Amino acid sequence: MSGRSAGSPFAPHTLETTAEMLAAVGADDEADLFDIPESVAFDGEFGIPARSEREVVGDLRDTFARNDDLTEFLGRGHYGHYVPALVDDLSARSEFLTSYTQYQPEITQGFLQALFEYQSMLVELTGLPVANCSMYDAATGLAEAALLADRVRSASGDTVLVPEALRDGKRSTLDNYVDGSDLSVETYPSDDGTVDLEALRERVGGDVCFVYAENPTVTGAIEPELAAVGDVADEHDALFCVGSDVVALGLLREPASVGADVVVGEAGALGLPTAYGMGLGLFACREEYLRQVPGRLVGASEDAADHRAYTLTLQTREQHIRKERATSNICTNQAWVALRAAMHLATLGASGLADLAEDCVRAARDLAADLDEVDGVTAPLHDRHHFREFAVGVDDAHGVAAGLQERGYAVHVLDGDTLQVCVTDLTAGETDGLVAAFTEVAN
């Protein structure tokens, strides 16, 4: 554009305006405004050429086109479900996408109400009365839950008990988060894919302040005796934390009814596409921990005209007020992803969510049954009900996975003779192809 200075296309000034503004602040040149000692000034170049919008869009499309086109039967904590078009469309409205944290609630009622509705739906799904409006992902949610236990149960033990089979990303994040506290992390074993109740009973003692169990587990098994796990935790005055996800909670017993004190997990299973691991951490807990909850909370109040209004509340827990005494350092969270999850949930409704969850059981059962027919394949490996995914026994897991990949299918390799397969509404139509590929490569 004529008269506009070269540089950022998103800085609006013409050369003339720039000159006018420089004159107003009494500077000759933009560089004069920088109060940087010469010894630390940067006068080099990054070597990054500027590009047109068309070039960037084309370049990135070419880059992403380098990703192979595989049908992903992958899960283990990150799930692709069909996201309704309404979610993409309305969440992309700039009023949602480019707004900031709601520090001026009077002018941000729309987002606050949407987050209040998100919290409300998580309360319904978990059965617990308090849900925050997001952690980063399931791993950081679990880690923050352990730190919560440290705050509310400091009188008893300092051992955090988690399943041996916990995903590495969760375990390692947990280890890092508790490193600055008095907590230490230990594991308990599983039996046929779910909690080994006897081993857990033997392990839990006065030193344990936190017991974590997943339902479904990382291999998709549905925990048959979750209430008994809760009882074991309760007998020893340990906090009982259940890990789940927003789709599974639409069908499985609400964690509060089996004694869960805290529920964490993925809420991005709804609303997010497969986003290379980007997530949305759900976090819900009992009322008595309200003032120890990490992260943001939206509450209902009234405005000066006595109308219902929403606002961020209990901010004295948060880092911008409480500094080093805050319940957590979390500030920016996953609010827009929470909005998308809420939209997706609202689009499904109760019956739609229940149907989707039922399909996650049926599709996994059907696929396992079909794979079990294939010579050299045992599916599911564990004698349990499954949700979306299950472990598969084969002779040469690496070889089978490579063969499947050549045929256009991605599955997990757990160890030398175990694979894991996950099916959702996105891939349920392609299971025949997967079974045929297994038939070709498994024996």
Q: What type of residue is 59? A: D
CA 68/CA 254 separation, integer angstroms? 39
Instruction: Give the CA distances from residue 96 to residues 10, 87, 285, in Å, rounded to whole numbers and listed in that order.
Output: 20, 12, 27
Question: Would you count residue 199 as binding another protein (CB under 8 A)?
Answer: no
Residue 3 Ramachandran class (φ > 0 left, ψ -120 to 50 alpha, else beta) = left
CA distance 268 to 136: 10
Report whether 183 contacts 160 (CB < 8 A).
Answer: yes
- Part of the chain binding another protein (CB under 8 A), chosen from 103-111, 192-200, 389-397, 428-436: 103-111
- Residues between 177 and 196 that touch another protein (CB under 8 A): 177, 179-181
Q: CB of residue 295 vs another protein: minimum separation in angstroms?
A: 10
Per-residue x/- mask for another protein, residues 130 to 169, rule CB under 8 A?
xx-xx-xxxxx------x-------------------xxx
> What length is written for the chain?
443
78 touching another protein, by CB under 8 A: yes
Q: Distance between CA atoms of 63 and 282, rounded to whole angstroms?
A: 33
Asked if 206 and 238 touch (Cβ cutoff 8 Å), the reply is no
Under rule CB under 8 A, which residues in 4-33 are in contact with another protein?
5-13, 17-18, 20-22, 24-25, 27, 30-31, 33
For the bound state, the minimum distance from the C-beta of residue 31 to another protein, rounded and expressed in Å, comes to 8
As given in the structure block, the two tokens for residue 365 are 């059962």
Scanning 197-205, 231-239, 295-303, 371-379 for contacts with another protein by CB under 8 A, the matching segment is 295-303
- Residues 68 and 79: their CA atoms lie apart, in Å, by 18
For position 428 contacting another protein by CB under 8 A, the verdict is no
Report if residue 244 touches another protein, rule: CB under 8 A: no
Among 1, 2, 3, 47, binds another protein (CB under 8 A): 47
Q: Is 170 in the site for another protein (CB under 8 A)?
A: yes
To another protein, the closest distance from the beta carbon of 435 in angstroms equals: 20
CA distance 234 to 313: 30
Q: Which of 28, 82, 93, 198 binds another protein (CB under 8 A)?
A: 93
Omega before residue 380 within 30° of 0, cis: yes
What x-and-dash track marks residues 330-369 binding another protein by CB under 8 A?
Answer: xxxxxxxx-x---x-xxxxxxx-xx--xx--xx--x----
Stretch binding another protein (CB under 8 A), from 184-192, 204-212, 239-247, 327-335: 327-335
Q: Residue 308 or residue 443: which is nearer to another protein going by CB?
A: 308
- Rounded CA gap, 334 and 340, in Å? 10
Of the two residues 203 and 386, which places its CB atom closer to another protein in the complex? 386
Amino acid sitting at position 419: L
Contact 133, 295 (CB under 8 A): yes
